[in-house]
Amino acid sequence: MVVELGSIDKETLQLWGEENHCYVNSLSSQEMESLSALCDTFLPAVDVKQAAAIDKDIADFFRASASAAGTPERLGGLMSERLKHPKKWLVRLCLWLLSTCIGSLILCGRYCFSSKFPYMHSFTQLPQNKREAVLVSWSLSYFYHLRMLYKAMKLLIFLVFFTQVNEKNENLSWKAIGYKGPDPEFKTKSMQRKTLRNEGLNDDDDEGQNDDGHEEEAELYGPLYKGLINMQLPRNIVADSLRQVGFPVSVRNKRNAAPSSIASPSLVIKCDAVVVGSGSGGGVIAGVLAKAGYKVLVLEKGSYCARSNLSLLEGKTMDQMYLAGGMLATDDMGVILLAGSTVGGGSTINWSASIKTPKHVANEWCDEYELKLFESDLYKEAMEVVCERMGVQSEVEEEGFNNAVLRRGCKELGYPVNNIPRNSPPDHYCGWCCLGCKDGSKKGTSETWLVDLVNSGNSAILPGCEAIEVLHKKRRDRNVATGVAFEFQYMGAKDICVVESKVTIVACGALSTPNLLKRSGLKNANIGKNLHLHPVTMAWGYFPKTSSSGEWPEEKKTSYEGGIMTAMSTTVGNFGKSGYGAVIQTPALHPGMFSSLMPWVSGADIKLRMCKFSRTAHIFVLARDQGSGTVNSPYSISYQMEAMDEENLKKGIEKILRILAAAGAEEIGTHHCKGKIINVKKASSEEFERFVKEESSRPLRDLSTPLSSAHQMGSCRMGIDPKTSVVNQMGETWGVEGLYLADTSVFPTALGVNPMVTVQAIAYCTAQSVLDVLRRKKSN
């Protein structure tokens, strides 16, 4: 039986995900003056006469500056309201200094001097060639903070410029660089859906609706729409909706005009289990408990985007579905961090890879860390169950551009290359899955485990609700979890509600779970420590289009289309020895991330590089890191990569450059800030070998080469001793009874491969422990 909650109306669901956020720019006029100058230094108007003869779109792109496109104003708003990095104050200080002559002298040195009166100029008064020389000097500076400033401004400016869109959802650069924008097939279907939506489904006939009608509704509004609670409605309506499902709810007296608080919440909801987070960990455990008949309430900080409400626009999606809008990095800007923050968590925006826990890792966790869970029949069963639920398979009908390059290069060189198991069908040829799955064929938790929860008829999901404290109290000599307090925006102000539960599960992800536990008063010294990031660095190869129909890769293929991950090489995996090596895979890079990672040496050069975007393949190396970091606060993350991790990444880059060349690339290079390129077709073997050796030996821990992370883990690790871990093998915290963790934060070490199957399997095992507790409480 499916219960329609009634709280979430279809009109509201149509708008969820479609709203555009306008951030208010609070930067001063001096800061904006410097920001505009920086934007136009990175992306100036370039008068290229040859471009006009070749292509009008390319000529328009070259002649457009960042300020003419409105990038400074957009970026100013993001920096004012969205950017939360702990060093933001330093960036703003530098912007102010650059608007003054003395400040510019401090930051820019000799470039500020002139032979003409007034002999010294501020950065904003310098000509383009001198400003470009300043930026190059920052990228290579002896002073670490100047390198940080360069990296931060480059990342932000390029991300905004290449993702901003007009009222037609178009960007002035996209035609020139060969980018289609949102999936054309999806755009067509979206228009058809909107037409159907405007015509309206017959809501009065819901009871008599056939299966086709329900499928049509699910296609329009997403498979979870009947299990969502709209917290923007009046409290009494929300309470009634929750009561329909069976949750006991008490509402605060309306006469009490004081703001809600944990001591005086606007609603108190009672349930069997509250789950904080709906990703690969929280989604699994919530689905298992709900299917077993227990009342489960899921709190999700992010919003819900139904299939029909996806924009597949890079900038908009990152703002809506990624943690901190995709603008998260370690304190020293050493690693860019990407994590999901939406219903379904990372499983909604990940790249489909569904790899079981490697045997050597399970053995290490079992033997060295004495966690017998990982050799148990239960864990083996869990991996099979979650893979079956996600429809994991390894076949691929047609390989996308990047993966085809990786596979061909590996075969030419004799490197091992294998198909990657994925939670999508063999014909899944997309490329936009990092922006949400357009048709539900990628089986994240919002298409699987959370659907089980909604179909149970006894549970609900509350999007846009952030847990602020795990509630617990002393009972005899034990500290016992009693529920969660959460907040959300209601009528322009924060409202607070409380969930009282028999068990509490926290699954906010490795970057957010530690902060919630610390705010809740847990004192375990290991909380937030032992963070691993799977650091990634990349190399690229350019494959120009050719008029010959027999040439490879086919002219129709582009770097951003096709299955994101279908091939993987373990040539530097070191699986048979220490187990700490690296794997080689391919990324999803749309123009914003592509441009922010590519080297910048001048304004003209970056525009030439971007014109090759659609035929530039990227391959990355991902290290199983021994280095670790600490989650200090919600937006403060420190991390130190060890020398061995750096060496493994360098070995991977060396292999990748060879793979790209063997696959037929005309030009190859890395992301190092010097931006060196070699034309493979024209270079001698000696020149090629010298280039590969030089580029693969460059240091990676000095901000000269961008590092990224899409996998964070280990910040509340599992163990057998509370002195060295946060949770036991059942997933229960050492300090608070009835409080369980179910996300990647519990990994004992870095995993070394994509973590989705492993975290789901651990969550499935934790769910069995929670079920035992709930059964005992039910029988008492």
Tokens describing residue 246: 């069976």
Residue 469, beta-bridge partner list: 485
Residue 177: count other Cβ atoms within 10 Å of its Cβ.
22
Tokens describing residue 102: 């003395």
Q: Pseudo-torsion of CA 697, 703, 705, 711, nearest 10°?
A: 110
For residue 355, give the nearest of 711, 683, 46, 738 by alpha carbon. Answer: 711
CA angle, 105 as apex, 104 and 107 as ends, to 5°? 65
711 given a catalytic annotation:
yes
Task: State the Cα–Cα distance between residues 617 and 173, nearest whole angstrom.
Answer: 19
Phi first, then psi, for residue 737 (nearest 5°) are -70, 140
Between helices 603-610 and 56-63, what is the axis angle to 10°? 150
For residue 441, give the nearest of 421, 420, 427 by alpha carbon. Answer: 427
Is 362:374 a contact under the CB 8 Å cutoff? Answer: yes
Is 726:527 a contact under the CB 8 Å cutoff? Answer: yes
3-state secondary structure of 198: helix
The helix, strand and coil proportions of the chain, stated in percent and rounded to the nearest 5, come to: 40, 15, 45
Residues 6+ positions from 112 with CB-CB distance below 8 Å: 101, 104, 105, 120, 121, 122, 123, 126
- Residue 767: CA count within 13 A, CB half-sphere: 30
Sign of CA dihedral 174, 178, 183, 184: positive
Task: State the Cα–Cα distance between residues 353 and 356, nearest whole angstrom.
Answer: 10
Per annotation, catalytic residue among 121, 360, 590, 711: 711
What is the pairing mode between strands 677-679 and 707-709?
Answer: unpaired
For residue 491, give the nearest of 229, 228, 233 by alpha carbon. Answer: 233
- Largest Cα separation within the chain, whole Å, is 89
Amino acid at 677: I
Task: State the Cα–Cα distance between residues 379 and 404, nearest whole angstrom.
Answer: 34
Tokens describing residue 484: 């969660």
Is 59:43 a contact under the CB 8 Å cutoff? Answer: no
Please give the span between the terminal C-alpha atoms of the chain, in angstroms, as a whole number. 28
DSSP labels, 305-368 = --GGG----HHHHHHHHBGGGG-EE-TTS-EEE--B-STTTHHHHS--B-PPPPHHHHHHHHHT
For residue 48, give the nearest of 605, 731, 612, 505 by alpha carbon. Answer: 605
For residue 761, give the nearest of 358, 488, 367 by alpha carbon. Answer: 358
- Alpha helices, DSSP H, located in 64-183: 71-77, 88-98, 101-108, 128-139, 144-161, 174-177
Which DSSP symbol is given to 446?
A: G
Distances (CA, A) of 161 to 31, 174, 476: 18, 11, 59
3-state secondary structure 80-96: HHHCCCCCHHHHHHHHH
Which DSSP symbol is given to 434?
A: G
Tokens describing residue 158: 């390029």
Please identify every residue annotated as catalytic. Answer: 711
